Structure 1
Amino acid sequence: MYFFDNKKHNKPHIHAEYGEYTAVFSIENGELLDGKLPNKKLKMVQAWIAIHEDELMANWTLSVQGKDPFNIDPLK
């Protein structure tokens, strides 16, 4: 998630990176908006988004206002 990052995709989203791969996912439904990840990692990110949707939306609101988001636990 980046500060003030609501122009290009025009919806709440997160950025994910894995090795040389980068991808952008919708927070609302886990849809892949841009980029690519290996299939196994893509499914892991989508599961993480589903588990943490409320926290991600709260962070999205903070980030587009230029405020620091809070940490969210990774998948274990």
Structure 2
Amino acid sequence: MFSVSVCYDELEKRMMGVDEVPELSNFVGIYVYMRFNDVGQHYKPHVHIKYGDFQAVVSLDGELLAGSIPKRQYKILVGWLALREEEVYRAWYKAVKSEHFDKIQPL
């Protein structure tokens, strides 16, 4: 399992209310979210991930920024980010301006 040092309680607080965070996509149990105007904490374009009890923040270039996710799901996610790179960046640029974005096709 991949993981980075992060205050897990802080990550959990940020992910709470995930129903209020727009879903970008979901596939094989991996839920991908993108918050509006979310530029202060990680300083990189990123998505929020939920897989079962796991929560993580992953940059659009595939770097694990916070939390943890099993290795297999991480590889699937990174593959999806690469495959849908243009669409994901388009959604990011809309989200940072608090504009609604379209959901992206799963794998």
TM-score interval (norm. to shorter): over 0.9
* Pair 1:71 & 2:99 matched: no
CA shift, 1:70, in A, is 0.8
Aligned-residue RMSD, C-alpha:
0.7
Structure 1: stretches of 5+ with no match in the other structure: none
**Aligned length, in residue pairs:** 74
**Structure 1 counterpart of 2:87, one-letter code:** E
**Structure 1 counterpart of 2:43, one-letter code:** N
2:22 alignment counterpart: none
Greater share of residues in strand: 2
Q: Secondary structure at the match of 1:23?
A: strand
Structure 2: stretches of 5+ with no match in the other structure: 1-33
2:56 alignment counterpart: 23
2:44 alignment counterpart: 11
Q: Which runs of 4+ in 1 moved over 2 A?
A: none
CA shift, 1:11, in A, is 1.1
TM-score by length of 1: 0.93
In 2, the alpha carbon distance for the partners of 1:15 and 1:52 equals 16
1:41 alignment counterpart: 73
Deviations 1:47-68 (A, max 9, x none): 0001111111100010010110
Q: Secondary structure at the match of 2:81?
A: helix
**Structure 2 counterpart of 1:63, one-letter code:** A
TM-score by length of 2: 0.67
2:82 alignment counterpart: 50
